[in-house]
Structures are given as structure tokens and as C-alpha cells.
Amino acid sequence: MPQPTVREYVLPRDITITTLEAGRGEPLMFLHGAGGLTWDPFLDTLATNYRVYAPHLPGSGPSRGLENIRDLWDLVITYYDLLDALGVDSINLVGHSLGGMIACEMAAADPSRVQRLVALCPAGVFHENRPAPDLFALLPRERVEYITYDPQSELASSLLALPEEVDEKVEVLIDRLTTLQAAAKFLWPIPDKGLRRRMHRIKAPTLLIWGRQDRMIPPAYADDFKAGIPQAELVMLDKASHLVHLEQCAQCVELIGKFMSGTAPKSP
Amino acid sequence: MRFIAFHLMPYRNLPADFEARYPSVWVNVPKSLYDPAEGHRLYHQYLDELEFAVDLGYDGIGVNEHHSNAYGLMPSPNLMGSILARKVRHSSKTALLVLGNSIALYNPPIRVAEEMAMLDVLSGGKFIGGFPVGTSMDTNYCYGVNPAEMRDRYYEAHDLIIKGWKTEAPFAFNGKYTQLRYVNPWPRPMQTPHPPVWIPGGGSVETYDFAIKHNYSFSYLSFFGYRYAKKVMGPFWERAQALGADMNPYRAGYAQLLCVSETDARAQTDYEQHVRYFFAKCLHIDPRHYEAPGYRTAATLRAGLRSQFEAAESATQLLKEGKLDWNGLLDRGFVIAGSPATVRDRLIEAARELNTGNILLLNHIGSMPHHLTTKNLQIFAEEVMPQIRRADPFEKWNPSAYWPQKVLSERL
């Protein structure tokens, strides 16, 4: 896998965002989920057709300034600041889980800044009568069972892998915890910050992709997004849980490609 | 040395197979296990025990705050404090300690300034107020405070409460979490400028520094006794020295499970099953709720995680597996138990090692019935406390910065 370029953007309010960037073509921004950002096969494949910008959420990885972001609204503004720093007026946004929620918020708050929106099993909705599991009260092994289709897969084991050496192990664990902390800032205690009341503002053509076996955000939650976003298409992919973009990578990239070129797919 | 009879007010009747059948004593402990008729009896017995401690001349009686918790049945310790204030007002020796209110949970936090001022006035100026950050179970999981904001909320709430106590005229407070156009809490506390503030804490450097900087007394409230407390009190005193504070032992306190009886052997007969109930059931906490992401800072995590990997066998693990016998519990200092002479020697040794002047005694433990609790309280007060006072290793130190003046005058 070719290595992406690491760039640092110093934004107003003492916030520094580090991005991974690669590829040529139309700009596309990827917002990662609560597990943090790694350059994975999904991003690598996208980078064959697009100029991919993947920022680390402030407070995760090398990005700094979480303490200067008060709430979700502040975070949305931070990402507009990042678009300004990139010199991009309007961008294609792909967001996974927490990132999907942020992408929807960005598209709703200022529709002029988002060209096309892809939300991969986005967070942002919660039903008391059929609650999604509490991401922040799961043992690491359980979390992997919830987000993967096959908990015995190589992908699943890679999520739990730890270095042997104590110092390295401690740093890897701290990195995972601080990433989760940054995510929790925008999802605690229930991942519903009112997005349903703003979804109708989204003007961008929207593609929703869900893993049919998603145990973290149940597929039934897709209905809210499908019904609430004016131009939304929903595709359910089989043999995929919450890491749908890694478990059905080729299909996801193909769907995104068709969607971007304007031939929006119909749900199978 | 000064002794506080400290009560958790646990539920005493959890089923024998509780830890095998149920996920946790906290957060998601089933409410069906609580019988309000039994709860009624327990509350009044527990209050009687604390009132008895006032009669016995303890330096303080103490309560604290927990939520959705079967070993700590005081979601509002101030309610208990207000009942106990009626007794404390007649005492010239005993202070009322609420350790404390998790100030980030009160909305607006000025509520704490109001209620603690009420308690100070009710008790006749014998009140000590505690400001814990709070456990992750209580604050993040049960009360929904965002872990990323918790410390920040805590500091802001503290500043508001103290300013509310100290400022004569009404003022406006434009905080990040609390905005109040008119801050003017009535009543004002009886002690000026306000009651002593104690900070209960675990092992976080931020909390040591906060307590030392404000000259508040820091209390390490673990259930694992004095040997374990050294891990925290050692670094605390290092920070105190680094920040130029004195080594006044009343700047610090620690909690200790304590069981005193006629003889060493009798102490085991009397108390062992209740101590076992405490460790097996009351500390049966679901690891899923130990700690929300962000509850500890990266710096504190770094130290904690490393020792976790390096420790060959953790004592808590042994406890959970029931592998510690009575002598094992005593050797590790989890419990100080025995005859008055044994308990006296251990406590003096512990206080010396930790340099803590305030000893928060858990004289009621787990399933201990009322008659044993009164026995434990009484033998300690009559046969241990006087002996320790005669051989007090901290005699030369003045507690007055950390204790209400009203309860010091008689002894000093």
C-alpha cells in the first residue's frame, strides 16, 4: 500500500488538524469513526480515482485542540475552517459512523460546502425502544464482535492486536483510549444530538451504505436517514457489520464511484 | 490524629449468589434486589450508629455520595447530613463531614453552596464540605457527564461555589457550563469565609496539585487500606514538597476498614463474614463501567497502565477470586483488625507511614449488623482512641486550617 502524505493544518482557535492525503482527481474528504483513522484498503482504493483528504478528529492521533472545541456545532465550524485551509469551497464528503454524523451535520448546516454526501452507517440517531449498544461500555473484545461480521477474521484480530513490549503496548492503548475519548465528546452519553431535526436541510445528493449485519448501529436506524434526507439512496450490503467499508471494500468503492459520477444506484 | 466514623450505608441483604448472578453492584444493579421496608430499617440503624459515634466523641462523622449503587445508598448525602446536623449541634467535639458532593453533577452548582451553607448553619459551624470529582460510574455512566468535560466542569463549579461563599454582593457568572446573571446564595455559611473543604481523590496528579494549591485537605478513599494507600500518599507528599507546602499531616487523610474486638481471635469471629461480604459483593463492579474514555488523563493512564502490566498478581484479583484468607487481608493492610492494642499499634504505624492525620474509619463494613457496629464503634472510642491520643505522633501539628474551629477548641 503506498503511503499517503501527512499534512498539518493550523486552524483558528488553537486547533491543529493532521490529515492523510493521497491520490489525484476530484477532492474527497473522509471523516473516520470512533475507532480513529488509519490508512486502510478502503482509502487506498478511493485514492486511485480521487484526491483523498482524511483528517484525524481533533484529540485523536496527532490532531490537537479538542479542549478548544466546545460541542458538535464548534466541531462543524472547525471542519469548515479546514475546508478553508485546503482552499476548497465545496467538497465530496464520505463519513463513517461518527464521521457520517459529522458529515451529515456539515451538509445540513451549510449545504453550499458539500457537493455529494456518502454516509456509511452514520451515528446520530437513537431510539429508546430499540437502543443501539453503548459503545463506551463494551470490553474491547465485545466491541470487535459488535463491529465485525466475522469476529474470527484477520480484520477482527488486527483490531485487538497489541505489541509485546510494555512501553509500546501502553502507548497503543493510550492512543485507542484518547481516540475514544475524542469521539465520546460528541457522542456521550447517547449518540443523538438532534440531527433528525436538521436532516431536511441537506441539499447534497446522498448515498447511505449500511452493513446488513451491523450490530453497532442496527440497520433499522437507516430508515430515519433515508426518510429524513431529501435526496437519499440507501444500499444495504450483505456479509458486513459496522466496518462495512472494510468488509465489503470493493462493493463500497464501486457504489461510491457510480454515485459520484451521477449514476446513483438503486437498493438491491 | 483525628478520627472520623465514616459510613457508606450499604445494602446488607444482597443474595448469597449475588456476584455470580448479577453483573454489578453499581450502575445496572437490579432494583428488584432492594426491599424498601428493609431499607427503612437500615437507614435508621445507620443514622443511629453515626449519632452514637457523636456520643462516643469521635472527631467527625462522615457520609458520601453514590448513584445507582447497592453499597452506597446515599444519592443525596446532604439529606443524611441535615438529619445528623441536629445531633452534631449539641456536640463540642464532633464535626459533620459530607465527603462530599460531586460538584460537577449539580445544576447549577450553586446548589452545593446553598446546601452546604445550610448544613454549616444547622450544625452550628461544625461542617466540613467535600468536593470529589466523582467516580466514572457515578458521574459519566449514571449522571451522563461527558468525560471529556468532567474535570473542566469540576473546576468551574468549584470556582463558582467558592466565589459564591466569599463574595458579599451579588455577582454575575459567565462560565462555560454555567451562566448565572445573579449569584447570591442564601444562607451564608456560619464559618468564615466558608467551611473547610476536603478533596477526596484517587491517584491523579491534577487532584493532588489542586488540593495543595488551595490548601484543602486531600483524602484517599480506597477500600484497600494503608499499605495500598502508600502508592498514592507517597506521590501526594512529593507534590506537596515540590509546591512548597508544609508536611502538616492534617493536609491529608485516608480511609481504613477497621474491626476491633476483645481479642485478635475474637475480631475474626465477629467480623470476617461481613468483611468478606464487602469485598465479594460491594466491590463486584462491572469492568465495562470502571472508567469512561477520558476519565483519566493520558499522563495518569500512562503510570496506571504500566503498573497494571508489570504487577505479577493484583491484590484485587486475589480478593475477587476469594484467595485471600483473614491473615492475608490483615497482612496486606486491607483491614486493620484485632484487639484494642493490635489496632492501636497498626493505626499509629499506618498514620506515620502515610503522614495522614485524618483517619476515615469504616467501622461499618458490608453486612455488619447493628449490634456489631456499635460494638466496633464503642471499643474503638473507649479503648483505642484515648491511647492513641496519649501517644499521638502528630501532636505538634495544628489541624485548624482543615477543621472547624468549634470542634477544636475543647481539645487544643
Chain A residues within 8 A of B148 when measuring between CB atoms: 59, 66, 181-182, 184-185, 188
Partners of B198 in the β-ladder: B130, B217
Number of inter-chain CB pairs under 8 A, A vs B:
62
Q: Are B359 and B319 in contact (CB under 8 A)?
A: no
Determine, for residues B148 and A182 on separate chains, whether the beta-carbon distance falls below 8 Å: yes
Instruction: Tally the domains of chain B.
Output: 1
Q: Verify whether the Cβ–Cβ distance A184 to B309 is below 8 Å.
A: no
Examine residue B189 and state whether it is found in any structural domain, yes or no: yes
pLDDT value of position B412: 47
CB B78 within 8 A of CB B403: no
- For residue B15, give the CATH number of its domain: 3.20.20.30
Query: Is the CB of A178 less than 8 angstroms away from the CB of B298?
Result: yes
Query: A139 to chain B nearest CA, in Å?
Result: 6
CB contact under 8 A, B141 and A166: no
Percentage of chain A modeled with pLDDT above 90 = 95
Kindly list the residues from chain A whose CB atom is less than 8 angstroms away from the CB atom of residue B290: none
Strand partners, B260: B338
Q: Domain range for residue B362?
A: 2-407
Predicted ipTM of the assembly: 0.90
Q: Which residues of chain B have pLDDT under 50?
A: 312, 412
Q: Which residues contact A127 (CB under 8 A, 6 or more apart)?
A: A221
Angle at A105 between CA A104 and CA A107, to 5 degrees: 65
Please report whether residue B226 resides in a domain: yes
A164 has a chain B CB within 8 A of its CB: no
- What are the residues facing A206 on neighbouring strands? A117, A232
The answer to whether position B286 is within a domain reads yes
Helix B205-214 and helix B298-310, axial crossing angle in degrees, nearest 10? 130
A139 interface with B at CB cutoff 8 Å: yes
Three-state DSSP state, A266 = coil
Show the domains of chain A with their CATH numbers: 5-260 (3.40.50.1820)
Q: What is the mean pLDDT of chain A?
A: 95
- pLDDT, residue B322, reads 75
With a CB-CB cutoff of 8 Å, which residues 273-292 of chain B face chain A? 287-289, 292
From first CA to last CA, the distance across chain B in angstroms is 12
Contacts of A189 in chain B (CB under 8 A): 140-141, 144, 146
pLDDT digits (tens, 9 = 90+) for A172-215: 999 999 999 999 999 999 999 999 999 999 999 999 999 999 99
Q: Each residue of A46-103: pLDDT tens digit?
A: 999 999 999 999 999 999 999 999 999 999 999 999 999 999 999 999 999 999 999 9
pLDDT one-digit tens code per residue, A55-70 = 999 999 999 999 999 9
- If pLDDT is split at 50, 70 and 90, which confidence band does A265 have? very low
Query: A166 and B144: CB-CB below 8 Å?
Result: no
Query: Closest approach of chain A CAs to the CA of B149, in angstroms?
Result: 8
Cβ–Cβ contact A159 with B under 8 A: no
The answer, yes or no, to whether residue A132 has pLDDT greater than 60, is yes
Please tell me the predicted confidence (pLDDT) of residue B312. Answer: 44
Please state, in angstroms and rounded to a whole number, the distance separating the CA atoms of residues A63 and A55: 8
- Looking only at the bridges linking them, the beta strands covering A114-120 and A206-211 are parallel
Would you tell me how many other CB atoms lie within 10 Å of the CB of residue A258? 13
> How far is it, in rounded angstroms, from Cα B276 to Cα B244?
42
Q: Compute the CA torsion angle A209, A212, A215, A219 (nearest 10 deg).
A: 60
Question: Nearest by CB to A139, which of B141, B287, B292?
Answer: B287
Shortest CA gap A171–chain B (Å): 8
Locate the chain A residue with the closest alpha carbon to B302: A170
Grid coordinates in use for A112? 453550499
Which of A166, A167, A185 is nearest residue B148 as measured by Cβ atoms?
A185
Per-residue pLDDT tens digits for A15-29 = 999 999 999 999 999
Residue B412 lies inside a defined structural domain of this protein: no
CA B348/CA B329 separation, integer angstroms: 18
Pick the closest to residue B217 from B262, B175, B252, B260 (CA basis).
Answer: B252
Residue B279 lies in a domain: yes
B318 within domain boundaries: yes
Q: Is B299 on the interface with A (CB under 8 A)?
A: no
Residue A193: per-residue pLDDT: 98
- Which of B24, B105, B137, B140 best tests the A interface by mutation, with the highest count of A CBs <10 A? B140
Closest approach of chain B CAs to the CA of A244, in angstroms?
A: 25
The secondary structure element, H or E, covering residue A257 is helix A249-260
CA distance B304 to chain A (A): 10
Task: Label each residue of chain B as H, E or C.
Answer: CEEEEECCCCCCCCCCCHHHHCCCCECCCCHHHCCHHHHHHHHHHHHHHHHHHHHCCCCEEEECCCCCECCCCCCCHHHHHHHHHHHHCCCCCCEEEECCCCHHHCCCCHHHHHHHHHHHHHHCCCEEEECCCCCHHHHHHHCCCCCCCHHHHHHHHHHHHHHHHHCCCCEEEECCCCEEEEECCCCCCCCCCCCCEEEEECCCHHHHHHHHHHCCEEEECCCCHHHHHHHHHHHHHHHHHHCCCCCCHHHEEEEEEEEECCCHHHHHHHHHHHHHHHHHHHCCCCHHHCCCCCCCCHHHHHHHHHHHHHCCCCHHHHHHCCCCCHHHHHHCCCEEEECHHHHHHHHHHHHHHHCCCEEEEECCCCCCCHHHHHHHHHHHHHHHHHHHHHCCCCCCCCCCCCCCHHHCCCCC
Predicted local distance difference test score (pLDDT) of residue B376: 98
Residue among B148, B294, B305 minimizing CB distance to A173: B305
